[in-house]
Structure 1
Amino acid sequence: MPQYAFLGLGLSLILFSGSALCAEPIVGRASVTDGDTVVIRGTRIRLHSVDAPESAQVCEDANNQEYRCGQSAALALSDHIGEANISCEPRATDRYGRTVAVCRKGTEDLNAWMVTQGHAIAFRRYSADYIGQEKEARTRKRGLWAGTFEDPSDWRRRRRGGRGETLPGAEMPRATQEAMTCTIKGNISRSGNHIYHLPESRDYARVTIDEQAGERMFCSEAEALAAGWRAPQR
């Protein structure tokens, strides 16, 4: 009998099946979507048992200064991976089609590295993995622990009007599901150019979205093109 658990952005339903556990590692150059998600050859991969701040999330540092902790986490992961190939060992597939995996750079567990450095927290609500690494980061006041921050799951719940992660048998409104799967960033450059960035784009992790400035997320390239955005020229 397969086992079920709930994990990930929006409490994605995970099916732990024999096929997922026995799948071959996904190996290659990775583009970082955010602090707990990478893309390898078009496959979106959610880091197992890790929860990083969301892209738009803001935290406070040791000097009580606000900073984009979600962007900081994504950049940390991107810089740490660099140009190296990584290998991701699938554990499951979530309801949004993402592969949930433990990813490694050589022998180094990248999931553990993110938590140890304080760029993400252990997703202890669903797994006991990486709790030790989180305690170390907290004791040494690394990353997020140097200042104050909101638990990413609480931040998501608040942004969604008080709706938290879905419970067994519950279903998110379709609009919420669609918004969560829209990953194309529509950015406006200093010169006023409307440019969209795909998750596999080189500068994706470094692009932040300012909705007040008219920037937005798109669900498809066709939607971005229809709205007047274009692909990067390089």
Structure 2
Amino acid sequence: MVEHGQALDWPRYSHGAYAQQQAKAKAARIGLWVGTFQAPWEWRAQHADNKGPAISQSLGIISRQVVQSYSCQPRRYCSQIGSCEEAQWYLHNCSWGRKLDRDGDGRACETLC
């Protein structure tokens, strides 16, 4: 998972066992490394004195992380896309995205939207 940018090497517990895989994923800008984010242990340390974040704030963080996980490589087809939001992201952000809107109405993968 670390190699594919889907998890982080947490040196406190892994003692750097996955540092090489993480460096490769970061250099390739895949998974979590497509965008920017704050490591979970850093976020928790900054918010340790709070009783917990507001639900809307948590949902906003999750939403941004999901969007950051989208990537234009490799090209995807509607059958490989899981949501209308994801299809629309590809439509507006990828060179091949317009192919997801066969009838040209601005909605990608009509079966999802």
Higher helix share: 2
Q: Looking at both structures, which has the greater relative contact order when contacts are Cα pairs under 8 Å and sequence separation is at least 6?
A: 1
TM-score (norm 1): 0.21
TM-score (norm 2): 0.41
